[in-house]
Structure 1
Amino acid sequence: MSMNGQHERVDNIYLSTLNEILDSVAPHNDLEPSLNSILEILSKDLHFQRAFLAIMDPESEKLKLSITHSPAKDYSATYSPGKGVVGRVYETGKSVVIPRMSEDTELLNKAFNRSEEELNTLSFICVPVKSATSDEKQEVLGTLSVDSPILPMDNLLEHMQFLEVVAALISNQVSRLQEEMSMQAQMLSQGMIPGGVDAAPPADFVATSKSMKQVLRQARQVGPSRATALLRGESGTGKELLAEAIHACSPRRDKPLVKLNCAALPAELVESELFGHQKGAFTGAYQNKRGLFEVANNGTLFLDEIGELSLDAQAKVLRAIQEKEIQRVGSEQPIAVDVRLICATHQPLETLLREGRFREDLFYRINVFPIFIPPLRERREDILPLAEQFLESFASEYEKSIKRISSPAIDLFTQYHWPGNVRELKNCLERAVLICEEEVIRTYHLPPTLQTAESTATDTSLSFGEAVAKFEQELLVDSLKKARGNMLQAARDLRVSYRIVNYKVKKYNIDVKKYAGAKKKK
């Protein structure tokens, strides 16, 4: 074939790729998905190992790896202008071609942790993405880079020229994305947004089920405002933890989060606790005391079990919300307070309203943004992740080498109705860890309530022989998992002969092969 024919074929590839890219740069398309689609088109059509965009972050004035299309696991990275090949392209505004990565000392290999094999078999092309203005001094917005299979230099230079065309085509989108990044960083720093409603849940907050993801989404919606949130749900569902999550994504997150369980104190002491008192206001008031509203000034006050407040205390809480001021017990001097309120209750406040035990005006003031947390029995997908989290936490605290929860124990967890919700589950795991002397939590480490509950009737109705056989099977499966399907090793671990293990495997129809890789993830 003639060289002209080969060039014609290359040109055709570039033209078809360009047509696909033009479809993706339509003005109505969303920025990130559109740019990601362009990187995918480049990788697919021109056989690049990966393609990625590094965009200048106006806040830090550093290049951040923003969008990537790569079959391998991606790593986040930040480049300083002038440092490494990407930093140099950004600083100079000139494209760079590296025929073989392993032979270039300037390449930092920060973002993808490329293997030695990749460095030896890949070329690197990096072109600047410049602002789409007609000025001679165009601003460099970022860089477009690709990892390409090693090719003759002429072909790499053709790729480079084509990528420069693509960079010019996407410069408008990159500019708009840069503005969005800057705006988002500004809003985050001012506490106006919490990092996105679908961001990862905060530490210790498990939200696997759809219903709890919705709860977390609602918390992130109300967090940035100063609106009062009312958390409703049974005792032990995690209302206090949710209050912490709301405070953490609010502009007040660096200020105090002060908590009071209104049911934990006698009614006559609650007012003093909330609003403080003057010296001599009542017997035992030997000095002035600041109330929790003062302590929480400029921060957040979490009132748990607000339905337990007396009508007098309710009136004063209402005044604090409306007037932004309080009076200490025994004083007529008003004190200005700026407090964001989060309330919680397990009680039906509507019933208390009808009975005259809760003020209607206060109810409407605190019910601005209600969030209902479902009981644990209605979100069973969360049970196992919560149990595993508690297991890890308590095993570390009590210095136990407990690795996992056995399958029969997991069955008990998922079948039980958990009247005490997450709090009961947590207490159950703490007890199990304390009494467990093995590496596995088993059914006999769990409280009797779980083993005798109606939901486990199928287990408790087993005959003695059946129960022994089930336990024997569980031990055998655990040993085979640990030994990765090696029956000889399992026999050693169980301190029985190989013949007995072989007999039991056949008796219980256990498929040994499926445990061959059981522990590779560890």
Structure 2
Amino acid sequence: MTSGEERRIQELELLYKISSILNQSLDFETVAHPVLQTVESVMDVEHATLTLYNRHTGEISIEIAEGLSSRQASKGRYKVGEGITGRVVETGKPIIIPSVAKDPDFLDRTGRGKTEDKAFLCVPIIMEQEVVGALSADEHNPDEANLNDQIHLLEIIAQMLATAVKLRRQAREENEILKAENERMAMELKARFQPDNIIGKTPEMQQVYTQIDQVAKSPLPALIVGEVGTGKGLVAEAIHFRSDRNLGPFVRVHCAALPESVLDRELFGSEKGALVGVVNEAPGRVEQAEGGTLFLDEVAELTPNLQIKLLRLLQQGEMERVGARFPKKVNVRVICATTKNLQQMVSDGTFREDLYYQLHIVPIYVPPLRKRRTDIVLLADYFVDHYCRLVGKNVRRLARGTIEMLMSYPWPGNVRELENAIERAVLLTEEDVIYPHHFPPTIQTDETSGTPVSGNLKLMVEAYERDIICDALKSSKGKMAAAARSLSTTPRILTYKIKQLGIDLTAFSK
């Protein structure tokens, strides 16, 4: 048997082996290494390498390479037309480099070495007339007479690999698109819930922002304390979306809204047949928050039994469904909120002390609105703009009397009460200015609004006239003619009213 015949038999055996590997699976991860190892052993080459061409980035990168470290492989990146591999992908034609030391186009980015006794063979991987990647290998002390045979054999192998490589490239590109979309959504969510967008510039709120940043970086449980309506849920969302769990779910549970038996199933789920009428297993909110954040609002309302279950979740990272025989490990970050004094509840024996210390690591105190009065107008303007867009109205501003009223009112319901009051005012007003009488009677009092709501008719009319004239002067920056036009009257009558009501005109011309 001649050497040529022996070579042909070896080639057929190689192709048969590769065909057998590919028949087992078209999964790239499964077949790539065995194929490249077979190529190296039969063809007496080394550093057999598969590169993929990414159509979206225009980059060619090493996907799998025999004999290269991951660091070396990560350096094997090329633009189309760059280096030998780039030229092969660009032209769709194979290239033989008999001696890499003598060819300046051989870039050696992976650091394999440019020696005179080493040849480099590279062929395109083509699927449906489209180059999807390249197959390459090094050959030491090559017989130049056989290099054409070697490159032809690599072309056949590349064609056999084409389907698997194309599927791999498609999966990678889809994964990159999905990753980019996730990153974009994460950035949008982060911008939406970042502390800068929690309205408030007072020192008290600046401290809250600082704590949000500190707590967001930690995987530990967090506790948010504040009165009803102060925005504890918004703080919890900000922590979640600024943490490394921002791509995971944010699951909210109100602990005071459900009785213990229902809340137990709601939180921890139930097994099939655990209860009468339960025919399927039902994962709870804890499992739904896997990889993300579980927000427990009004945690002080948990019963002793549920406090024990929550403590187990915090300490051991595991939970147990209703009716389950074994616990289940979960990866969940817990944030709790309360309006109650948990320390007092511990002293009273209604809240577990060990659970209190698990939660009370870095508590965040959200101040009530009465302690951040300079934020009231900022919040009111935001809510006016929000509800105007919602109902299609064009309210330009709050009347001066309205601002004085809002600043004087104690706001026992905090930001939530302010939002509801502004929503009502936007709905009721038929003008482009919101006045005190657009607000609920509970807010309209002599002490808070400065506008009498009962008593002497003359005083009530004067207060109303003073309010609308001041608003007109404010809009016109003290220009009498413009203010008179906006009120559909004459400058002479307006001047008379200003003097009668004792309005200081100079205050509006500054």
Asked whether the two chains share a fold, i.e. TM above 0.5, the reply is yes
Shift of 1:452: 2.6
**Percent identity for Structure 1 against Structure 2:** 43
Aligned amino acid, residue 486 of structure 1: K
Please say if 1:478 is aligned against 2:471.
yes
**Distance of 2:410 and 2:279 partners within structure 1:** 49
Please say if 1:306 is aligned against 2:299.
yes
State how 1:77-96 maps to structure 2 within 5 Å. none
Shift of 1:302: 0.6
1:457–1:500: structure 2 CA closer, same or farther, 3 Å change rule?
closer
Shift of 1:374: 1.6
Aligned amino acid, residue 438 of structure 2: H
1:457–1:502: structure 2 CA closer, same or farther, 3 Å change rule?
closer
CA contact (8 A) 2:446 2:452 kept: no
SS at match of 1:282: coil
- Partner residue, 1:395: 388
1:455–1:483: structure 2 CA closer, same or farther, 3 Å change rule?
closer
CA contact (8 A) 1:305 1:346 kept: yes
**Distance of 2:502 and 2:450 partners within structure 1:** 25
Which among 256, 270, 279 is matched to residue 286 of structure 1?
Answer: 279
Shift of 1:334: 2.0
Please say if 1:446 is aligned against 2:439.
yes
- Partner residue, 1:347: 340
State how 1:396-435 maps to structure 2 within 5 Å. 396-435=389-428
**Distance of 2:229 and 2:500 partners within structure 1:** 44
- Partner residue, 1:226: 219
**Distance of 2:403 and 2:355 partners within structure 1:** 44
SS at match of 1:450: coil
- Partner residue, 1:212: 205
1:201–1:504: structure 2 CA closer, same or farther, 3 Å change rule?
farther
Shift of 1:324: 0.9
- Partner residue, 1:267: 260
Please say if 1:372 is aligned against 2:365.
yes
Return 5+ residue gaps in structure 1 as ranges. 1-188, 195-199, 518-522
1:435–1:248: structure 2 CA closer, same or farther, 3 Å change rule?
same
Deviations 1:266-297 (A, max 9, x none): 22111111111112211332321111111111
- Partner residue, 1:332: 325
- Partner residue, 2:195: 202
Aligned amino acid, residue 311 of structure 2: L
**Distance of 2:199 and 2:316 partners within structure 1:** 37
Shift of 1:456: 5.1
CA RMSD, 1 decimal: 2.6
**Distance of 1:447 and 1:251 partners within structure 2:** 43
CA contact (8 A) 1:416 1:453 kept: no
Aligned amino acid, residue 481 of structure 1: K
Aligned amino acid, residue 258 of structure 1: V
1:397–1:204: structure 2 CA closer, same or farther, 3 Å change rule?
farther
Moved more, 273-282 or 479-488: 479-488
Which among 230, 235, 238 is matched to residue 245 of structure 1?
Answer: 238
SS at match of 2:363: strand
Please say if 1:323 is aligned against 2:323.
no
SS at match of 1:289: coil
SS at match of 1:393: helix
Please say if 1:359 is aligned against 2:362.
no
Deviations 1:409-449 (A, max 9, x none): 11111111111111101111111111111101100001101
**Distance of 2:468 and 2:305 partners within structure 1:** 61
SS at match of 1:290: coil
**Distance of 1:376 and 1:386 partners within structure 2:** 10
Deviations 1:167-204 (A, max 9, x none): xxxxxxxxxxxxxxxxxxxxxx99xxx9xxxxx95364
Which among 462, 467, 489 is matched to residue 469 of structure 1?
Answer: 462
CA contact (8 A) 2:451 2:463 kept: no
CA contact (8 A) 1:257 1:300 kept: yes
Deviations 1:221-252 (A, max 9, x none): 11111121111111111100000111121111
CA contact (8 A) 1:201 1:207 kept: no
**Distance of 2:197 and 2:390 partners within structure 1:** 15
- Partner residue, 1:6: none
Give the TM-score, by structure 1 length. Answer: 0.58
1:339–1:283: structure 2 CA closer, same or farther, 3 Å change rule?
same
SS at match of 1:231: strand
Aligned amino acid, residue 265 of structure 2: S
- Partner residue, 2:86: none
Shift of 1:471: 1.3
SS at match of 1:492: helix
1:459–1:374: structure 2 CA closer, same or farther, 3 Å change rule?
farther
**Distance of 1:305 and 1:223 partners within structure 2:** 20
CA contact (8 A) 1:231 1:343 kept: yes
SS at match of 2:319: strand
Shift of 1:460: 5.5
State how 1:107-118 maps to structure 2 within 5 Å. none
Aligned amino acid, residue 273 of structure 1: E
SS at match of 2:349: coil
CA contact (8 A) 1:230 1:369 kept: yes
- Partner residue, 1:493: 486
SS at match of 2:198: coil
Deviations 1:286-334 (A, max 9, x none): 3211111111111111100001111111111111111111111111132
**Distance of 2:497 and 2:279 partners within structure 1:** 75
Aligned amino acid, residue 506 of structure 1: K
CA contact (8 A) 1:237 1:422 kept: yes
Aligned amino acid, residue 362 of structure 1: L
1:330–1:201: structure 2 CA closer, same or farther, 3 Å change rule?
closer
Aligned amino acid, residue 418 of structure 1: W
Larger radius of gyration between Structure 1 and Structure 2: 2
**Distance of 2:291 and 2:386 partners within structure 1:** 33
CA contact (8 A) 2:383 2:419 kept: yes
Aligned amino acid, residue 206 of structure 1: I
1:510–1:454: structure 2 CA closer, same or farther, 3 Å change rule?
closer
**Distance of 1:364 and 1:391 partners within structure 2:** 41
**Distance of 1:431 and 1:408 partners within structure 2:** 17
Aligned amino acid, residue 307 of structure 1: A
Aligned residue pairs total: 323
**Distance of 1:326 and 1:336 partners within structure 2:** 7
Shift of 1:215: 1.2
